[in-house]
Structure 1
Amino acid sequence: MLMVFPVVWVYWVFSLTIVTYVSAFIINRYKEYGFAALVAFYTIYLAASQIVATRLIEFDLGFYTFFAPAAVFLYPFLSQAIDMINEVYGEKKAHIAIIIAFVTQVLLIMFIVMTNSLNPAPFFEYETAWQSIFSQGIRIVLASWVSFLVFQNLDAYVFAWMKSHYPKQVFLRSASSDILSLTLDSLIFVVLAFYGVAPLVPLIIGQIVAKNLIGLLDTPWFVWYKRYLENNSSINNQ
Protein backbone atom coordinates (compact mmCIF):
# COMPACT_ATOMS: atom_id res chain seq x y z
CA MET A 1 0.00 0.00 0.00
CA LEU A 2 1.45 3.35 -1.05
CA MET A 3 1.99 5.95 1.63
CA VAL A 4 0.31 9.28 0.86
CA PHE A 5 2.77 12.18 0.93
CA PRO A 6 1.34 14.96 3.13
CA VAL A 7 0.55 17.94 0.90
CA VAL A 8 1.58 20.31 3.70
CA TRP A 9 5.23 19.64 2.86
CA VAL A 10 4.65 20.70 -0.75
CA TYR A 11 3.32 24.07 0.42
CA TRP A 12 6.11 24.26 2.99
CA VAL A 13 8.92 23.68 0.48
CA PHE A 14 7.33 25.93 -2.14
CA SER A 15 6.80 28.88 0.22
CA LEU A 16 10.23 28.59 1.81
CA THR A 17 11.91 28.41 -1.61
CA ILE A 18 10.03 31.47 -2.87
CA VAL A 19 10.90 33.56 0.20
CA THR A 20 14.55 32.49 0.21
CA TYR A 21 15.09 33.15 -3.49
CA VAL A 22 13.18 36.44 -3.61
CA SER A 23 15.01 37.72 -0.51
CA ALA A 24 18.43 36.80 -1.89
CA PHE A 25 17.58 38.27 -5.30
CA ILE A 26 16.43 41.60 -3.84
CA ILE A 27 19.46 41.86 -1.55
CA ASN A 28 21.81 41.05 -4.41
CA ARG A 29 20.27 43.51 -6.87
CA TYR A 30 18.86 46.18 -4.58
CA LYS A 31 20.56 45.85 -1.21
CA GLU A 32 19.05 49.11 0.07
CA TYR A 33 15.60 47.48 -0.17
CA GLY A 34 16.66 44.09 1.15
CA PHE A 35 16.14 44.89 4.81
CA ALA A 36 12.59 46.10 4.16
CA ALA A 37 11.81 42.96 2.14
CA LEU A 38 13.14 40.65 4.85
CA VAL A 39 11.22 42.49 7.58
CA ALA A 40 8.06 42.18 5.48
CA PHE A 41 8.49 38.40 5.16
CA TYR A 42 9.42 38.17 8.83
CA THR A 43 6.28 40.04 9.86
CA ILE A 44 3.93 37.94 7.74
CA TYR A 45 5.47 34.77 9.18
CA LEU A 46 4.76 36.05 12.68
CA ALA A 47 1.22 37.23 11.93
CA ALA A 48 0.33 33.97 10.18
CA SER A 49 1.76 31.88 13.02
CA GLN A 50 -0.30 33.84 15.57
CA ILE A 51 -3.49 33.10 13.61
CA VAL A 52 -2.92 29.43 12.73
CA ALA A 53 -1.74 28.68 16.28
CA THR A 54 -5.41 28.48 17.26
CA ARG A 55 -5.73 25.22 15.31
CA LEU A 56 -4.34 22.11 16.99
CA ILE A 57 -3.02 19.46 14.62
CA GLU A 58 -1.80 15.89 14.67
CA PHE A 59 1.93 15.75 14.00
CA ASP A 60 2.86 12.29 12.70
CA LEU A 61 6.57 11.40 12.57
CA GLY A 62 5.83 7.92 11.32
CA PHE A 63 7.05 6.26 14.50
CA TYR A 64 5.43 8.65 16.97
CA THR A 65 2.40 10.93 16.89
CA PHE A 66 1.78 13.98 19.04
CA PHE A 67 -0.37 17.10 18.97
CA ALA A 68 0.75 20.71 18.61
CA PRO A 69 -0.48 24.07 17.34
CA ALA A 70 -0.38 24.38 13.54
CA ALA A 71 2.04 27.27 14.00
CA VAL A 72 4.87 24.75 14.47
CA PHE A 73 5.09 24.66 10.67
CA LEU A 74 5.60 28.42 10.49
CA TYR A 75 7.29 29.52 13.70
CA PRO A 76 10.74 28.09 12.82
CA PHE A 77 10.64 30.35 9.74
CA LEU A 78 10.95 33.27 12.15
CA SER A 79 14.35 32.05 13.25
CA GLN A 80 15.45 31.62 9.66
CA ALA A 81 14.20 35.08 8.69
CA ILE A 82 16.00 36.76 11.57
CA ASP A 83 19.14 34.80 10.65
CA MET A 84 18.85 36.06 7.06
CA ILE A 85 18.67 39.64 8.35
CA ASN A 86 21.51 39.08 10.80
CA GLU A 87 23.75 37.52 8.16
CA VAL A 88 23.61 40.51 5.81
CA TYR A 89 22.71 43.53 7.94
CA GLY A 90 24.14 42.59 11.34
CA GLU A 91 22.86 42.00 14.85
CA LYS A 92 21.67 45.58 15.46
CA LYS A 93 19.38 45.48 12.43
CA ALA A 94 18.13 42.06 13.57
CA HIS A 95 17.04 43.49 16.92
CA ILE A 96 15.37 46.41 15.12
CA ALA A 97 13.45 43.93 12.95
CA ILE A 98 12.29 42.10 16.09
CA ILE A 99 10.95 45.33 17.58
CA ILE A 100 9.15 46.23 14.34
CA ALA A 101 7.58 42.77 14.12
CA PHE A 102 6.52 42.87 17.76
CA VAL A 103 4.79 46.24 17.31
CA THR A 104 2.88 44.84 14.31
CA GLN A 105 1.60 41.97 16.46
CA VAL A 106 0.40 44.36 19.15
CA LEU A 107 -1.46 46.23 16.43
CA LEU A 108 -2.85 42.97 15.02
CA ILE A 109 -4.37 42.04 18.38
CA MET A 110 -5.72 45.58 18.79
CA PHE A 111 -7.41 45.40 15.39
CA ILE A 112 -8.96 42.02 16.20
CA VAL A 113 -10.22 43.25 19.57
CA MET A 114 -11.53 46.40 17.90
CA THR A 115 -13.54 44.47 15.29
CA ASN A 116 -14.75 41.93 17.86
CA SER A 117 -16.35 44.79 19.79
CA LEU A 118 -18.66 45.52 16.85
CA ASN A 119 -22.08 43.94 16.53
CA PRO A 120 -22.23 41.30 13.79
CA ALA A 121 -24.72 41.57 10.94
CA PRO A 122 -27.83 39.52 11.69
CA PHE A 123 -27.25 37.37 8.59
CA PHE A 124 -23.57 36.65 9.39
CA GLU A 125 -23.65 32.91 10.11
CA TYR A 126 -20.11 32.46 11.39
CA GLU A 127 -20.01 34.77 14.40
CA THR A 128 -19.63 31.95 16.93
CA ALA A 129 -16.80 30.39 14.95
CA TRP A 130 -15.15 33.77 14.47
CA GLN A 131 -15.26 34.60 18.16
CA SER A 132 -13.98 31.17 19.17
CA ILE A 133 -10.97 31.51 16.87
CA PHE A 134 -10.07 35.17 17.32
CA SER A 135 -10.94 35.73 20.97
CA GLN A 136 -7.62 34.59 22.41
CA GLY A 137 -7.22 34.82 26.14
CA ILE A 138 -4.98 37.55 27.48
CA ARG A 139 -2.79 34.89 29.09
CA ILE A 140 -2.12 33.20 25.72
CA VAL A 141 -1.36 36.52 24.06
CA LEU A 142 1.04 37.66 26.79
CA ALA A 143 2.77 34.27 26.83
CA SER A 144 3.24 34.49 23.08
CA TRP A 145 4.65 38.01 23.26
CA VAL A 146 7.07 37.24 26.08
CA SER A 147 8.36 34.06 24.46
CA PHE A 148 8.74 35.81 21.11
CA LEU A 149 10.80 38.67 22.52
CA VAL A 150 13.04 36.34 24.51
CA PHE A 151 13.67 33.67 21.91
CA GLN A 152 14.12 35.99 18.93
CA ASN A 153 16.55 38.32 20.70
CA LEU A 154 18.45 35.28 21.96
CA ASP A 155 18.55 33.89 18.43
CA ALA A 156 19.96 37.18 17.11
CA TYR A 157 22.63 37.30 19.81
CA VAL A 158 23.71 33.64 19.51
CA PHE A 159 23.80 33.82 15.70
CA ALA A 160 25.98 36.94 15.77
CA TRP A 161 28.30 35.35 18.35
CA MET A 162 28.61 32.16 16.31
CA LYS A 163 29.28 34.15 13.15
CA SER A 164 32.11 36.09 14.79
CA HIS A 165 33.70 32.95 16.25
CA TYR A 166 32.98 30.49 13.43
CA PRO A 167 32.65 32.63 10.27
CA LYS A 168 32.92 29.68 7.86
CA GLN A 169 30.39 27.45 9.63
CA VAL A 170 27.19 28.67 7.98
CA PHE A 171 25.05 25.63 8.81
CA LEU A 172 26.34 25.50 12.39
CA ARG A 173 25.50 29.09 13.31
CA SER A 174 21.99 28.90 11.85
CA ALA A 175 21.13 25.48 13.30
CA SER A 176 22.62 26.07 16.75
CA SER A 177 20.96 29.47 17.25
CA ASP A 178 17.63 28.06 16.06
CA ILE A 179 17.73 24.97 18.29
CA LEU A 180 18.58 26.96 21.40
CA SER A 181 16.04 29.71 20.81
CA LEU A 182 13.18 27.46 19.66
CA THR A 183 13.65 25.17 22.66
CA LEU A 184 13.57 28.13 25.05
CA ASP A 185 10.52 29.53 23.24
CA SER A 186 8.63 26.27 23.74
CA LEU A 187 9.46 26.16 27.44
CA ILE A 188 8.51 29.78 28.12
CA PHE A 189 5.32 29.80 26.08
CA VAL A 190 3.85 26.54 27.37
CA VAL A 191 4.63 27.30 31.02
CA LEU A 192 3.23 30.84 30.87
CA ALA A 193 0.19 29.91 28.78
CA PHE A 194 -0.87 26.56 30.23
CA TYR A 195 0.53 26.22 33.76
CA GLY A 196 -2.27 25.00 36.00
CA VAL A 197 -4.74 24.40 33.15
CA ALA A 198 -3.09 21.69 31.00
CA PRO A 199 -0.39 19.00 31.27
CA LEU A 200 2.86 20.84 30.58
CA VAL A 201 5.29 18.04 29.75
CA PRO A 202 3.46 16.60 26.69
CA LEU A 203 2.90 20.09 25.29
CA ILE A 204 6.52 21.12 25.86
CA ILE A 205 7.88 17.93 24.29
CA GLY A 206 5.54 18.24 21.32
CA GLN A 207 6.52 21.82 20.59
CA ILE A 208 10.24 21.26 21.11
CA VAL A 209 10.34 18.23 18.82
CA ALA A 210 8.18 19.76 16.09
CA LYS A 211 9.80 23.21 16.05
CA ASN A 212 13.37 21.91 16.16
CA LEU A 213 12.70 19.27 13.53
CA ILE A 214 11.30 21.85 11.13
CA GLY A 215 13.99 24.32 12.17
CA LEU A 216 16.66 21.82 11.12
CA LEU A 217 14.85 20.98 7.90
CA ASP A 218 14.79 24.61 6.76
CA THR A 219 18.48 25.23 7.52
CA PRO A 220 19.65 24.08 4.03
CA TRP A 221 17.61 26.96 2.58
CA PHE A 222 19.62 29.36 4.71
CA VAL A 223 22.84 27.80 3.39
CA TRP A 224 21.49 28.23 -0.15
CA TYR A 225 20.67 31.86 0.64
CA LYS A 226 24.24 32.45 1.84
CA ARG A 227 25.80 30.69 -1.15
CA TYR A 228 23.58 32.58 -3.59
CA LEU A 229 24.67 35.92 -2.16
CA GLU A 230 28.35 34.92 -2.18
CA ASN A 231 28.31 33.57 -5.74
CA ASN A 232 26.37 36.45 -7.25
CA SER A 233 28.39 39.02 -5.33
CA SER A 234 31.60 37.64 -6.81
CA ILE A 235 30.07 37.78 -10.30
CA ASN A 236 28.89 41.36 -9.85
CA ASN A 237 32.28 42.45 -8.60
CA GLN A 238 34.08 41.16 -11.68
Structure 2
Amino acid sequence: MIEQPANQTRIAAATVPLGLFVFLVLYGGLTVIAGVLAFKQVQLWPTRLAVESGIFAFLGLVVISSTIAQLYGEKLAQRLVWWGFLPLAFSAALIFLVLWLPASSEMLEYRGSDLNAFETVLAQTPRIMAAGPAAYIVSLLLNVWIFSRLRGSGDGNTLGLMARGAIASALSQAIDSVIFVTLAFYGEFDIAPLLIGQVIAKVALSIVLVPFLITGGVALAKWLDRRHL
Protein backbone atom coordinates (compact mmCIF):
# COMPACT_ATOMS: atom_id res chain seq x y z
CA MET A 1 0.00 0.00 0.00
CA ILE A 2 1.46 3.39 -1.04
CA GLU A 3 1.29 6.02 1.69
CA GLN A 4 -0.01 9.43 0.72
CA PRO A 5 2.57 12.22 1.25
CA ALA A 6 1.92 14.44 4.26
CA ASN A 7 1.44 17.56 2.14
CA GLN A 8 -1.21 15.82 0.03
CA THR A 9 -2.99 14.70 3.20
CA ARG A 10 -3.05 18.29 4.47
CA ILE A 11 -4.34 19.52 1.11
CA ALA A 12 -7.11 16.90 1.15
CA ALA A 13 -8.10 17.92 4.69
CA ALA A 14 -8.14 21.58 3.71
CA THR A 15 -10.55 20.89 0.86
CA VAL A 16 -13.26 19.54 3.19
CA PRO A 17 -16.16 22.03 2.96
CA LEU A 18 -16.36 24.17 6.09
CA GLY A 19 -20.10 23.59 6.40
CA LEU A 20 -19.57 19.83 6.38
CA PHE A 21 -16.76 20.07 8.95
CA VAL A 22 -18.83 22.20 11.34
CA PHE A 23 -21.86 19.94 11.07
CA LEU A 24 -19.75 16.82 11.68
CA VAL A 25 -18.46 18.35 14.92
CA LEU A 26 -21.98 19.32 16.00
CA TYR A 27 -23.28 15.85 15.17
CA GLY A 28 -20.77 14.14 17.45
CA GLY A 29 -21.62 16.44 20.34
CA LEU A 30 -25.35 15.96 19.93
CA THR A 31 -25.07 12.15 19.98
CA VAL A 32 -23.38 12.41 23.38
CA ILE A 33 -25.65 14.98 25.03
CA ALA A 34 -28.96 13.47 23.86
CA GLY A 35 -28.83 10.67 26.42
CA VAL A 36 -28.15 13.11 29.29
CA LEU A 37 -30.94 15.50 28.31
CA ALA A 38 -33.39 12.60 28.00
CA PHE A 39 -33.49 12.29 31.80
CA LYS A 40 -35.85 15.27 32.03
CA GLN A 41 -39.36 15.34 30.57
CA VAL A 42 -40.80 18.69 29.50
CA GLN A 43 -44.34 19.78 28.72
CA LEU A 44 -45.00 21.08 25.21
CA TRP A 45 -46.87 24.34 25.75
CA PRO A 46 -49.76 25.00 25.19
CA THR A 47 -50.64 21.27 25.20
CA ARG A 48 -50.32 18.74 28.01
CA LEU A 49 -48.08 16.51 25.91
CA ALA A 50 -44.83 15.51 27.61
CA VAL A 51 -41.64 14.53 25.83
CA GLU A 52 -38.16 13.59 27.01
CA SER A 53 -35.77 16.48 26.45
CA GLY A 54 -33.33 14.38 24.45
CA ILE A 55 -35.66 14.89 21.48
CA PHE A 56 -34.24 18.38 20.99
CA ALA A 57 -30.73 17.01 20.50
CA PHE A 58 -32.13 14.18 18.39
CA LEU A 59 -33.96 16.62 16.12
CA GLY A 60 -30.58 18.28 15.66
CA LEU A 61 -29.19 14.93 14.47
CA VAL A 62 -32.12 14.60 12.07
CA VAL A 63 -31.55 18.11 10.70
CA ILE A 64 -27.79 17.61 10.30
CA SER A 65 -28.08 14.22 8.60
CA SER A 66 -30.75 15.58 6.24
CA THR A 67 -28.67 18.68 5.49
CA ILE A 68 -25.64 16.55 4.66
CA ALA A 69 -27.77 14.29 2.46
CA GLN A 70 -29.10 17.37 0.67
CA LEU A 71 -25.74 19.06 0.05
CA TYR A 72 -23.12 16.32 0.13
CA GLY A 73 -24.98 13.13 -0.76
CA GLU A 74 -26.99 10.30 0.77
CA LYS A 75 -24.00 7.96 1.13
CA LEU A 76 -22.06 10.45 3.21
CA ALA A 77 -25.10 11.01 5.43
CA GLN A 78 -25.45 7.26 5.96
CA ARG A 79 -21.77 6.98 6.87
CA LEU A 80 -22.22 9.81 9.36
CA VAL A 81 -25.07 7.95 11.06
CA TRP A 82 -22.99 4.76 11.36
CA TRP A 83 -19.89 6.60 12.60
CA GLY A 84 -22.08 8.45 15.08
CA PHE A 85 -21.82 5.28 17.16
CA LEU A 86 -18.18 6.16 17.89
CA PRO A 87 -18.72 9.21 20.16
CA LEU A 88 -21.77 7.46 21.58
CA ALA A 89 -19.79 4.33 22.52
CA PHE A 90 -16.77 6.31 23.72
CA SER A 91 -18.86 8.53 26.00
CA ALA A 92 -20.72 5.49 27.37
CA ALA A 93 -17.40 3.81 28.19
CA LEU A 94 -16.19 6.93 29.99
CA ILE A 95 -19.44 7.14 31.95
CA PHE A 96 -19.08 3.50 33.06
CA LEU A 97 -15.47 4.17 34.09
CA VAL A 98 -16.33 7.29 36.12
CA LEU A 99 -19.27 5.55 37.82
CA TRP A 100 -17.02 2.60 38.69
CA LEU A 101 -14.25 4.73 40.18
CA PRO A 102 -14.77 5.53 43.89
CA ALA A 103 -15.76 9.08 44.79
CA SER A 104 -13.32 11.19 46.78
CA SER A 105 -13.64 11.35 50.56
CA GLU A 106 -14.36 15.08 50.31
CA MET A 107 -17.30 14.47 47.99
CA LEU A 108 -18.64 11.62 50.14
CA GLU A 109 -18.51 13.80 53.25
CA TYR A 110 -19.63 17.20 51.99
CA ARG A 111 -21.27 16.70 48.59
CA GLY A 112 -23.28 13.52 48.98
CA SER A 113 -26.35 15.02 47.33
CA ASP A 114 -24.30 16.03 44.28
CA LEU A 115 -22.94 12.50 44.01
CA ASN A 116 -26.43 10.98 44.25
CA ALA A 117 -27.74 13.33 41.56
CA PHE A 118 -24.77 12.53 39.29
CA GLU A 119 -25.29 8.78 39.64
CA THR A 120 -29.06 9.07 39.25
CA VAL A 121 -28.75 10.88 35.92
CA LEU A 122 -25.91 8.85 34.41
CA ALA A 123 -26.54 5.34 35.76
CA GLN A 124 -29.06 3.82 33.37
CA THR A 125 -30.40 0.28 33.22
CA PRO A 126 -28.93 -2.10 30.61
CA ARG A 127 -32.25 -2.18 28.74
CA ILE A 128 -32.29 1.59 28.33
CA MET A 129 -28.62 1.60 27.34
CA ALA A 130 -29.39 -0.94 24.60
CA ALA A 131 -32.65 0.67 23.48
CA GLY A 132 -31.09 4.07 22.79
CA PRO A 133 -28.51 2.98 20.18
CA ALA A 134 -31.00 0.61 18.51
CA ALA A 135 -33.56 3.38 18.09
CA TYR A 136 -30.82 5.79 16.98
CA ILE A 137 -29.46 3.71 14.11
CA VAL A 138 -32.82 2.60 12.71
CA SER A 139 -34.58 5.96 12.91
CA LEU A 140 -31.73 8.08 11.53
CA LEU A 141 -30.96 5.73 8.65
CA LEU A 142 -34.69 5.71 7.89
CA ASN A 143 -34.75 9.52 8.02
CA VAL A 144 -31.90 9.80 5.50
CA TRP A 145 -33.49 7.20 3.23
CA ILE A 146 -36.97 8.80 3.21
CA PHE A 147 -35.55 12.31 2.82
CA SER A 148 -33.42 11.23 -0.14
CA ARG A 149 -36.21 9.21 -1.82
CA LEU A 150 -38.61 12.16 -1.65
CA ARG A 151 -36.04 14.37 -3.28
CA GLY A 152 -36.46 12.79 -6.69
CA SER A 153 -34.10 13.76 -9.48
CA GLY A 154 -33.72 17.46 -8.62
CA ASP A 155 -32.89 19.70 -5.67
CA GLY A 156 -36.41 21.14 -5.49
CA ASN A 157 -37.41 24.47 -3.95
CA THR A 158 -37.46 25.66 -0.36
CA LEU A 159 -41.03 24.49 0.27
CA GLY A 160 -40.14 21.08 -1.11
CA LEU A 161 -37.11 20.92 1.20
CA MET A 162 -39.26 21.87 4.19
CA ALA A 163 -41.90 19.26 3.31
CA ARG A 164 -39.35 16.48 2.80
CA GLY A 165 -37.66 17.32 6.08
CA ALA A 166 -40.93 17.31 8.01
CA ILE A 167 -42.21 14.04 6.51
CA ALA A 168 -38.91 12.18 6.94
CA SER A 169 -38.48 13.42 10.51
CA ALA A 170 -42.07 12.67 11.56
CA LEU A 171 -41.97 9.10 10.24
CA SER A 172 -38.51 8.36 11.61
CA GLN A 173 -39.35 9.87 15.01
CA ALA A 174 -42.48 7.72 15.25
CA ILE A 175 -40.38 4.62 14.57
CA ASP A 176 -37.77 5.83 17.06
CA SER A 177 -40.41 6.05 19.81
CA VAL A 178 -41.80 2.59 19.05
CA ILE A 179 -38.36 0.97 19.15
CA PHE A 180 -37.08 2.79 22.23
CA VAL A 181 -40.18 2.52 24.43
CA THR A 182 -40.74 -1.13 23.49
CA LEU A 183 -37.15 -2.25 24.09
CA ALA A 184 -36.71 -0.19 27.24
CA PHE A 185 -40.01 -0.71 29.07
CA TYR A 186 -42.09 -3.54 27.54
CA GLY A 187 -43.16 -5.99 30.25
CA GLU A 188 -42.52 -3.54 33.10
CA PHE A 189 -45.79 -1.60 32.77
CA ASP A 190 -48.48 -0.72 30.24
CA ILE A 191 -46.46 1.15 27.62
CA ALA A 192 -49.42 2.17 25.42
CA PRO A 193 -50.07 5.61 27.02
CA LEU A 194 -46.36 6.48 27.06
CA LEU A 195 -45.89 5.24 23.50
CA ILE A 196 -48.88 7.14 22.11
CA GLY A 197 -47.89 10.33 23.90
CA GLN A 198 -44.28 10.13 22.72
CA VAL A 199 -45.27 9.49 19.10
CA ILE A 200 -47.73 12.39 19.03
CA ALA A 201 -45.27 14.76 20.72
CA LYS A 202 -42.33 13.86 18.49
CA VAL A 203 -44.36 13.99 15.29
CA ALA A 204 -45.73 17.39 16.33
CA LEU A 205 -42.23 18.71 17.00
CA SER A 206 -41.03 17.33 13.68
CA ILE A 207 -43.80 19.13 11.79
CA VAL A 208 -43.45 22.42 13.68
CA LEU A 209 -39.67 22.73 14.01
CA VAL A 210 -37.87 20.63 11.41
CA PRO A 211 -39.01 22.48 8.25
CA PHE A 212 -37.45 25.71 9.53
CA LEU A 213 -34.42 24.07 11.10
CA ILE A 214 -33.50 22.18 7.96
CA THR A 215 -33.83 25.19 5.68
CA GLY A 216 -31.70 27.12 8.15
CA GLY A 217 -29.19 24.27 8.30
CA VAL A 218 -28.85 24.11 4.51
CA ALA A 219 -28.49 27.91 4.29
CA LEU A 220 -25.86 27.92 7.06
CA ALA A 221 -23.82 25.15 5.44
CA LYS A 222 -23.87 26.92 2.07
CA TRP A 223 -22.80 30.19 3.71
CA LEU A 224 -19.92 28.49 5.53
CA ASP A 225 -18.82 26.76 2.34
CA ARG A 226 -18.75 30.09 0.49
CA ARG A 227 -16.58 31.63 3.21
CA HIS A 228 -14.21 28.69 2.93
CA LEU A 229 -13.57 29.25 -0.79
What's the TM-score bracket when you normalise by the shorter of the two chains? 0.7 to 0.9
Q: Name the stretch that deviates more: 223-232 or 117-126.
A: 223-232
2:215 to 223, 229, 233: 223
- SS in structure 2 of the partner of residue 65 of structure 1: coil
Q: 1:164 and 2:152 equivalent?
A: yes
* 1:209 equivalent in alignment to 2:200: yes
**Residue pairs, 1:22-101, within 5 angstroms:** 32-57=17-42, 59-62=43-46, 64-101=47-84
* Residue pair 2:55, 2:202 contacting (<8 A) in 1 also: yes
Aligned to 1:153: 141
User: Normalized against structure 2, the TM-score is what?
Assistant: 0.80
Identity among equivalent pairs (%): 22
Select the structure of larger CA radius of gyration: 2
Which amino acid is the alignment partner of residue 117 of structure 2? A
Distance 1:88 1:116, change over 3 A: same
**Match for residue 108 of structure 1?**
91
Alignment of structure 1 residues 130-145 onto 2, 5 Å: 130-145=118-133
Runs of 5+ consecutive residues of structure 1 not aligned to the other structure: 1-29
Runs of 4+ displaced beyond 6 Å: 228-234
RMSD: 2.7
Number of paired residues? 207
- The answer to whether the Cα contact below 8 Å between 1:147 and 1:188 also exists between their aligned partners in 2 is yes
1:156 counterpart letter in structure 2 = V
Q: Contact 1:68–1:203 (CA<8 Å) still a contact in 2?
A: no
Query: Who is 2:9 aligned against?
Result: none
Structure 2: gaps spanning 5 or more residues = 1-14
Counterpart of 1:180, as a letter, is: L
Distance, in Å, in 2 between the alignment partners of 1:50 and 1:225 is 23
Q: Which amino acid aligns with 1:140?
A: I
Q: Give the Å deviation of 1:224.
A: 3.6
Change in Cα spacing, 1:228 to 1:128, as seen in structure 2 (3 Å) is closer
Once the two structures are TM-superposed, the CA of residue 210 in structure 1 deviates from its matched residue by: 2.2
Say if 1:121 and 1:172 are closer, same or farther in 2 by CA, change over 3 A: same
The CA deviation at 1:76 is 1.6
Change (3 A) 1:112 1:222: same
Q: Hey, what's the Cα distance between the residues in 2 that align with 1:148 and 1:110?
A: 18
Pairwise CA distance, 1:203: 1.4
SS in 1 for 2:102: coil
Aligned-pair CA distance for 1:34: 2.8
Measured at CA, do residues 103 and 129 of structure 1 come closer, stay the same or move farther in structure 2, by a change above 3 Å? same
Provide, for residues 71-94 of structure 1, a one-character-per-residue CA deviation record: whole Å limited to 9, x for no partner: 123322211111111111111100
State how far apart, in whole Å, the 1-side matches of 2:225 and 2:102 are. Answer: 55
* Contact 1:75–1:211 (CA under 8 A) maintained in structure 2: no
Distance 1:231 1:70 in 2: 30
User: Residue 76 of structure 1 contacts residue 212 of structure 1 at CA under 8 Å; is this kept in 2?
Assistant: no
Q: Partners in 2 of 1:36 and 1:147 — Cα distance?
A: 25
Q: What residue number does 1:12 align with? A: none
Task: Say if 1:77 and 1:215, in contact at 8 Å, map to a contact too.
Answer: no
Q: AA paired with 2:45?
A: L
